[in-house]
Chain A
Amino acid sequence: MQEYFIIIISAVLVNNIVLSQFLGICPFLGVSKKLTASLGMGGAVSFVLVLSGSITWLLQQYVLNPFKIGYMQTVAFILVIAALVQFVEMVMRKFTPPLYKALGIYLPLITTNCAVLGVAIINIQKDLSFTKALVNSLGHSAGFTLALVLMSGIRERLEEADIPESMQGAPIALVVAALMSMAFLGFSGLL
């Protein structure tokens, strides 16, 4: 039990996927202007991330490893993720139209979100067991959502601030991210 707790704390706070591992920066900067949008993006990414994390683990363990084609990892994983995103999109459109409408535009973007492929590869590199890989994916997606929601809270207030013209938009968002990342560095004493 303790092991799982450590994995979760490490994934959410200490090694936060956005602020200390730099995965998923594009949506972090692009979709963090409004709180509702960032919650939607966080939800969609979490969903795909956990699903793809489990499927790629099974794929690696039962297909790539037995046939000794580990070098096909990148190609196999990206195909799984792309197919999964398409599949999730179709299922959502059929069964939960309101949710599909809410997430609509973010769904196709998830294929090229490096957080999804990144966590799948990290799970394999760390040699985690299936349950640990699942917990690790859950922790990382919670960390992603947390970073996105915190960022959007700050940016909603930044809208009203008087920022020099050349720093508006992405530059100031990056500086804010730097301060957040410094705060998250403080968590490294936790473990």
Chain B
Amino acid sequence: MNLMQEFTKGIIKENPLFRLMLGTCPALAITTSVENGLGMGAAFTGVLLASNIVISLMRSIIPASVRIPAYVVIIASFVTMTDQLMHAFTPGVYKSLGIFIPLIVVNCIILGRAEAFASRNSVVPSIVDALGMGLGFTIALVMVCTFREVLGSGTFLGIQLLPEGIPAILMILPPGGFITLGCLLGFLNKMQKKYAL
């Protein structure tokens, strides 16, 4: 199995947010600043990596009939760890992500990878798969964040880009999230048709 292929599929061909339309809740809610996007991406990748490793190690022990509850418990434990770690070390990001850190548990991407990949493959491909998917999701989040932060508050990672007074506040309010993701998806669909990605 080609590891490079496993890695890149998460970024373009099977990008969880843009292609599979999974994880839309955090992608709309916390993407008001690039810092939030990076924080969420890191937390998400961490949980996905850890749960993929454990699930692929335990794949022969977990009986098929109770696999979903078992996966959920494994994922929830790692989410709790991430929650505690972020609370201790990155209080600022922790505060602005708020309820969406515990909600990583119900992020369909993680359960989806556990079911579709980690439960059928050995540890090394599972790690590569988690890294690729995590990176793909982070890139997608940062793309949405960039549009919203630059247009909505005139900054990028806190650096002032647009003169004061210009920003369209709407972009960092809820409608801005929907409209940014909708337009980005439409644009990417068009690009995909054109260049057959």
Residues of A within 8 A of B (CB): 19-26, 29, 71-75, 78-79, 82, 111-114, 117-118, 121-122, 125, 164-167, 170-175, 177-179, 181-182, 184-185
Residue among B68, B79, B183 making CB contact with A171, cutoff 8 Å:
B183
> A173–B161 Cα gap in the complex (Å)?
31
Tell me, in angstroms, the Cα distance from A29 to B179 when the chains sit together. 14
On whether A174 and B182 interact (CB within 8 A), knowing A114-B25, A121-B99, the answer reads yes
- The interface residues of chain A lying within 8 Å CB-to-CB of B103 are 23, 114, 117-118, 121
Task: Provide 13 A-B residue pairs closer than 8 Å at the C-beta atoms, listed in order of the A residue.
Answer: A22-B26, A22-B174, A25-B24, A71-B84, A79-B72, A82-B69, A113-B106, A114-B106, A121-B102, A167-B189, A177-B182, A181-B175, A185-B175
- Residue ID in chain A nearest B26 by CB atoms: A22
In the bound complex, do residue A166 and residue B77 qualify as a contact, i.e. CB atoms below 8 Å apart? no
Majority secondary structure of chain A interface residues (helix, strand, loop or mixed):
helix
Q: Give 4 A-B pairs besides A26-B22, A178-B179 with Cβ atoms closer than 8 angstroms.
A: A75-B76, A79-B76, A178-B178, A184-B174
Q: Which residues of B contact A (CB under 8 A)?
A: 21-22, 24-26, 28-29, 68-69, 72-73, 76-77, 79-80, 83-84, 99, 102-103, 105-108, 111, 170, 173-179, 181-183, 185-187, 189-190, 193
How many Å lie between the Cα of A19 and that of B173 in the bound state?
Answer: 11
When distances are taken between beta carbons in the complex, the residues of chain A under 8 Å from B26 are 22
Known contacts A75-B73, A117-B103, A181-B175; decide if A24 and B25 are in contact (CB<8 Å).
yes
B24 & A29 in contact (Cβ 8 Å cutoff):
yes
Assembly CA distance A19 to B29 (angstroms): 10
The residues of B that contact A114 with a CB separation of less than 8 Å are: 25, 103, 106-107
Is A117 a contact of B105 with CB atoms below 8 Å? Answer: yes
- Is B80 a contact of A179 with CB atoms below 8 Å? no
Contact, CB under 8 Å: A178 / B193: no
* Cα distance, A24 to B79, chains bound together (Å): 19
Chain A positions within 8 Å of B170 at CB level: 182
A66 to B: closest C-beta gap in Å: 19
The one of B22, B72, B175, B185 in contact with A182, judged by C-beta atoms closer than 8 angstroms, is B175
* Minimal beta-carbon separation of B128 from chain A (angstroms): 25
Task: Describe B's contact surface by its main secondary structure.
Answer: helix
Determine how close the nearest CB of chain B comes to the CB of A116; give it in whole angstroms: 8
Q: Is the CB of B80 within 8 A of A75?
A: yes
Specify which chain B residues have a CB less than 8 angstroms from the CB of A26 in the assembled complex: 21-22, 24-25, 108
Residues of A within 8 A of B108 (CB): 26, 112
Inter-chain contact B185/A20, CB cutoff 8 Å: no
In the bound complex, residues from chain B placing their C-beta under 8 Å from that of A82 are: 68-69, 72
Given the known inter-chain contacts A22-B28, A26-B24, A26-B25, please indicate yes or no for A112 contacting B178, CB distance below 8 A.
Answer: no
Residues of B within 8 Å of A178, CB to CB, are 175-179, 182
Q: Are B189 and A21 in contact (CB under 8 A)?
A: no
Query: Are A125 and B99 interface neighbours, CB within 8 A?
Result: yes
- How far apart sit A26 and B25, CA to CA, in the bound complex (Å)? 7
Residues of A near B186 (CB, < 8 A) are: 164, 166-167, 171-172
Residues in chain A near residue B193, CB distance under 8 A: 165-166
| Closest Cβ–Cβ distance, residue A45 to chain B (whole Å) | 13
Contact of B183 among A19, A21, A175 (CB under 8 A): A175
A75–B111 CA distance with the chains assembled, in angstroms: 15
- CA A65 to CA B29, docked complex, whole Å: 29
